[in-house]
Amino acid sequence: AGAQPPLTVSLQAAMRTRTALVVGGGGSLGRSLVKALRNAGVASISLDLPGAGNRLADEVLSYDAARDWKEELGRLRRELHEAAPTGLDLVAHAAGTWAGGSISEIDSLDSISSMSFINLRSAINASYLGVHLLRPGALMMLTGAAAALEPTPGMIGYGLSKAATHHLIRSVAADPSLAPGCTVVGVLPDVLDTEGNRAAMPDADFSAWTNPDAVGDRVVRWMGDKTLRPESGSLVKVHTVNGKAVWTEFRQVAAEGVELSATGP
């Protein structure tokens, strides 16, 4: 997936003083992020549903979806402040799942609801915690989807949740309550090479899929070196060509409208 050059000695030393939160740390992408953080000497906190946390992380917290949403986020904010009293250097959102379905199918209402809860609410949780706990100059990464840059009629719930996450990324980047100098970036994979995706699409060409480790390594480098980061608010698509991860940055650009002709008398 395209090997990254080794960290410099000075960057390695700086990494050892940093702390990162991985929301969805027990999933495929979350595990890759925790591994990359561990390799860089960064303390990691994994946040996931009960029983799904990543034991390779330095600390594991659970999100109780049965509790009141506001109360649960308040509890997590307090616990994270106790765990990292000087603030976080990275909040990485890695939680998510996929489901298909057309708006013409009544059962798609269920997938729209579940995609909103799993994909969008987890991104909102990460954003809320990041706005309150990131240090100045830190990094927030939310996971979107390359597919949601276009219409998704065959997976309407998934597309809605990811398109809303893209809007969230740009909105949080523009929020004045974010600590000074922070960068908010969206990573939009085409298809990640995970066990779940292989099981769902057994006949696909896996060589065209992106190794989650490539994403983990890149995000940790962005955390450590601000000069490597995309512009805050950017959506960064990643896909794989000939075994190498290719990254494409989509910056905020004001859309030009076309005035419609007046109709009627």
The H or E element spanning position 135 is strand 134-143
Mode of pairing for the β-strands spanning 59-62 and 43-48? parallel
DSSP state of 192: B
158 is catalytic: yes
- Tell me the H-state helices in the chain: 9-15, 28-39, 69-83, 108-115, 122-133, 156-173, 195-200, 212-224
Catalytic member of 158, 161, 216, 218: 158
Phi-psi region at 256: left, alpha or beta (left = phi > 0; alpha = psi -120 to 50): beta
C-alpha distance across the termini of the chain, in Å: 61
Query: Of 180, 189, 158, which is closest to residue 232 (Cα–Cα)?
Result: 180
Distance CA 160, CA 171 (A): 16
Tell me the angle at which helices 108-115 and 156-173 cross, rounded to the nearest 10 degrees.
20
Catalytic residues: 158
